[in-house]
């Protein structure tokens, strides 16, 4: 039960309190019949049914490094994922499932200090092993629920969209390995992500990589794109993929990596002299007017934009490179009126004084997407920013260690957790199928080395995790359980002995004794 302990005054001493408030307060949540995060039962059961523990046992060799900190890697990995699913965003939060009756639900739930030592025992090779686990775990999850469902009703519905972007995760300690000042001007670590989605699905993470904070966005992007497309193909190889990215990834190497994997590209171009010259050749009658469903606020013009015009011309990209790297496709241009009077009066080129132009290069056939449709499709690349925001307000709010490889492992585990929750939401169905992470709306919980002091502790909500009978029944059917066993999330309120199905529902329901 919940109890509060207030230290009393020692005998023989006098004490004067200004406001008569207790000098210290501690609380504990120790009632073994009360559980706050019961939604973890079907979620972690799904993870086990999809082979998470088996993959960790088979692929992760951190236990062979000679340090006992790497022992039992599968159970420790499952603990980290379960804690992140419950809303943990730091090592300090890794005790969320160690209260009340949680030890009756899950076996081998480790302390935060043990998990921190486990992460610090990772080398670069172990992080790559985690990447392999993440990729194969996605494939296994797809066997339980379609992660990239598609239809061939329209051209857009019959494609898989792979979005590439990087983000800077702010840190506040110069002692963190790899921390540096990136394109945002703040000290941090750079994480590059690849997400895959269809017109009928949420985004899953098919690639993740932590890099030093001062790295260029495009560094290593060609290999990263190849790996992401290979993972996507293992999930759904029936339909073509389209790689979408911003101008930081406009390079011949990225385009070649996508082409070699059989994918198309849609990448924003930089407005260099060659692109401007190509835009100048577009005739006035080639522009088609479009209207945005919602007005977009333009920072430069300080006004709302709801209308624009689009046009396209054939274009060969990367002609300054050797011929094998040339890419033939379409240059699609969107223009909006230049409403900034300062720029209009100071300009010298009448073409670029009246409008502002945004162009991207794509290799998608015009028969599949016309000019308006391909522009609409390319602008949806911005949806990856939602994933960046959710991760940085959730598990990536705080980098847990000063050791780079420990933080790299943390990023991969956060991606695995995201995909697990997306699969669980898909099994639940209905309005849960595209649920957002509860952590996206949560405040940072505990002050620490990388946190601003004075922030309040906010308990993790179990509502978004308690996904209900949809997931529980689907997983139960998969392991041969009966609907009667769904009562395992309702613990007995009386004391006394409990049946094995309650004492270890993770093993009893999922069929593995750990």
Q: Which two tokens stand for residue 512?
A: 């593995």
Highest mean pLDDT among 93-97, 226-230, 372-376, 458-462: 226-230
Residue 107, domain member (yes or no): yes
Say yes or no: 318 and 423 in one domain. Answer: no
CB-CB contact of 199 with 383 (8 Å): no
Tell whether 369 is covered by a domain: yes
Mean pLDDT of the chain: 78
Q: Higher-confidence residue: 505 or 387?
A: 387
* Assigned token pair, 167: 């983000």
Report how far residue 334's alpha carbon sits from residue 345's, in angstroms, rounded to the nearest whole number: 22
Q: What is the per-residue pLDDT across 364-419, written as a single tens digit (0 to 9) for each?
A: 999 889 999 999 999 999 999 999 999 999 999 989 999 999 999 999 999 999 99
**Weakest mean pLDDT among 103-112, 145-154, 343-352:** 343-352
Of these ranges, 299-308, 318-327, 450-459, 491-500, the one predicted with the greatest mean pLDDT is 318-327
Q: Do residues 401 and 442 make contact, with C-beta atoms less than 8 angstroms apart? A: no
Does the residue 51 lie in any domain? yes
End residue of a domain, out of 344, 361, 392: 392
| More confident: 253 or 479 | 253
Taking residues 76-82, report their average pLDDT.
93
User: Within this chain, do residues 165 and 287 fall inside the same structural domain, yes or no?
Assistant: yes
What's the CA gap between 31 and 25, in Å, rounded? 19
What's residue 495's pLDDT? 42
Looking at the predicted structure, is the pLDDT value of residue 80 above 70? Answer: yes
Same domain, 185 and 256: yes
Query: Does residue 465 register a pLDDT over 70?
Result: no
Q: 404 and 388, same structural domain?
A: no
Phi and psi at residue 452, in whole multiples of 5°? -75, 135
Would you say 465 and 424 are in contact if contact means Cβ atoms under 8 Å apart?
A: no
Total domain count, the chain: 2
CA-to-CA distance for 177 and 400, rounded, in angstroms? 12
| Residue 229 and residue 95 in one domain | no
Q: What is the mean pLDDT of residues 126-133?
A: 96
Q: Please identify, among 339, 366, 392, the residue that sits at the C-terminal boundary of a domain.
A: 392
Q: Are both 388 and 446 inside the same structural domain?
A: no
201 vs 317: which has the higher pLDDT: 317
In this structure, are residues 247 and 269 in contact, taking their beta carbons and an 8 Å threshold?
A: yes
Q: What is the pLDDT of residue 479?
A: 38
In this structure, is residue 140 part of a structural domain?
A: no
User: Are 350 and 402 in a shared domain?
Assistant: no
Residue 481 inside a domain? The answer is yes
pLDDT band of 139, cuts 50, 70, 90: very high
Which residue range(s) make up the domain with 351?
Answer: 152-392
Q: 345-370 pLDDT, tens per residue?
A: 555 555 555 788 999 999 999 988 99
Task: Say whether 359 sits in a helix, a strand or coil.
Answer: strand
Please indicate, yes or no, whether residues 332 and 277 belong to a single structural domain of this protein. yes
pLDDT band at 260 (very low <50, low <70, confident <90, very high): very high
Question: 99 and 220, same structural domain?
Answer: no
pLDDT on residue 508: 43
Is residue 255 over pLDDT 90?
A: yes
Higher pLDDT, 307 or 126: 126
For the chain, give the longest Cα–Cα distance.
95
Question: What is the pLDDT at residue 308?
Answer: 85
Which of 366, 392, 418 delimits the end of a domain? 392
How many Cβ atoms from other residues are within 10 Å of residue 495's Cβ?
Answer: 8
CA pair distance 400, 391, nearest whole angstrom: 14
What integer pLDDT is reported at residue 12 of this predicted model? 56
**Is residue 433 pLDDT above 60, yes or no?**
no
Does residue 189 lie within any of the structural domains?
Answer: yes
Q: What pLDDT does 250 receive?
A: 95
Tell me the percentage of the chain whose pLDDT exceeds 70: 70
Q: pLDDT tier at 157 (50, 70, 90 boundaries)?
A: low
* Residue 17 scores a pLDDT above 60: no
79 neighbors 14 (Cβ within 8 angstroms):
no
Rounded CA separation 254/251 (Å): 6
Q: Are 415 and 505 part of one and the same domain? A: yes
CATH number, residue 375? 3.90.350.10
CA–CA separation, 54 vs 47, rounded Å? 10
Mean pLDDT check: name the lowest of 290-304, 369-383, 450-464.
Answer: 450-464
Most confident of the ranges 35-49, 128-142, 492-506: 128-142
Task: Decide which of 58 and 478 is more confident.
Answer: 58
Look at residue 29 in the predicted model and tell me its pLDDT: 63
488, pLDDT greater than 80: no
Asked whether 112 and 53 are in contact (CB, 8 A), the reply is: no
Residues 358 and 420 in one domain: no
- 11 falls within a domain: no
My answer on whether 363 and 221 are in the same domain is yes
Q: Which of 2-16, 55-69, 329-343, 479-493 comes out lowest in average pLDDT?
A: 479-493
Please check the confidence at residue 428 and state whether its pLDDT lies above 90.
Answer: no
Contact 298, 339 (CB under 8 A): yes
For position 63, what pLDDT does the model report? 77
Q: Is there a domain that residue 145 lies in?
A: no
Least confident stretch, 26-40, 78-92, 398-412, 438-452 = 438-452
385 or 447: which leads in pLDDT: 385
Flag the least confident range among 195-209, 320-334, 456-470.
456-470
């Amino acid at each position: 039960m919940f109890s509060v302990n207030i230290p009393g005054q020692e005998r023989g001493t006098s004490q004067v309190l200004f406001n008569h408030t207790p000098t210290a307060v501690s609380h504990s949540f120790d009632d073994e019949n009360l559980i706050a995060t019961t939604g973890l039962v079907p979620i972690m059961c799904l993870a086990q049914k999809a082979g998470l523990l088996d993959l960790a046992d088979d692929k992760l060799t951190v236990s062979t490094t000679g340090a006992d900190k790497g022992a039992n890697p599968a159970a420790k990995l499952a603990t980290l994922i379960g804690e992140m699913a419950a809303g943990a965003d730091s090592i300090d939060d890794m005790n969320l499932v160690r209260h009340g009756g949680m030890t009756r639900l899950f076996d081998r739930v480790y302390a935060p200090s043990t998990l921190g030592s486990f992460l610090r025992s990772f080398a670069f090779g172990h992080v790559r092993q985690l990447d392999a686990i993440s990729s194969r775990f996605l494939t296994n999850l797809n066997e339980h629920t379609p992660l990239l469902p598609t239809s061939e009703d329209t051209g857009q519905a019959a494609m898989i969209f792979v979005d590439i972007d990087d983000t800077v995760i702010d840190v506040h300690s110069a002692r963190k390995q790899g921390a540096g000042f990136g394109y945002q001007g703040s000290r941090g670590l750079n994480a590059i992500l690849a997400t895959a989605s269809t017109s009928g699905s949420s985004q899953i993470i098919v690639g993740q990589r932590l890099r030093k904070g001062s790295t260029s966005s495009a560094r290593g992007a060609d290999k990263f794109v190849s790996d992401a497309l290979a993972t996507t193909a293992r999930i759904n190889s029936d339909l073509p993929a389209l790689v979408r990215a911003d101008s930081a990834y406009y390079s011949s190497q990225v385009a070649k990596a996508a082409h070699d994997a059989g994918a198309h590209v849609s990448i924003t171009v930089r407005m260099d002299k060659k692109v401007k010259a190509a835009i100048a050749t577009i005739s006035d009658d080639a522009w088609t007017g479009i209207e945005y469903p919602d007005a977009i606020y333009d920072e430069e013009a300080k006004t709302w934009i709801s209308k624009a015009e689009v046009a396209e011309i054939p274009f060969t990209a990367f002609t300054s490179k050797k011929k094998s790297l040339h890419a033939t496709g379409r240059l699609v241009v969107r223009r909006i009126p230049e409403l900034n009077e300062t720029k209009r009066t100071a300009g010298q080129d009448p073409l670029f004084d009246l409008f502002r132009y945004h162009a991207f290069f794509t290799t998608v056939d015009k028969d599949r997407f016309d000019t308006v449709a391909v522009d609409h499709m390319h602008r949806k690349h911005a949806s990856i920013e939602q994933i960046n925001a959710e991760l940085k307000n959730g598990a990536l709010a705080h980098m847990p260690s000063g050791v780079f490889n420990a933080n790299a492992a943390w990023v991969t585990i956060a991606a695995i957790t995201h995909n697990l929750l997306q699969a669980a939401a898909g099994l639940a169905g209905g309005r849960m199928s595209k649920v957002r992470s509860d952590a996206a709306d949560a405040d940072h919980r505990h002050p620490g080395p990388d946190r601003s002091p004075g922030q309040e502790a906010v308990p993790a909500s179990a509502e978004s995790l308690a996904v209900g009978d949809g997931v529980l029944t689907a997983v139960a059917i998969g392991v041969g359980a009966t609907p009667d066993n769904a009562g395992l999330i309702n613990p007995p309120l009386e004391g006394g002995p409990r049946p094995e199905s309650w004492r270890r529902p993770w093993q009893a329901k999922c069929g593995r004794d750990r």
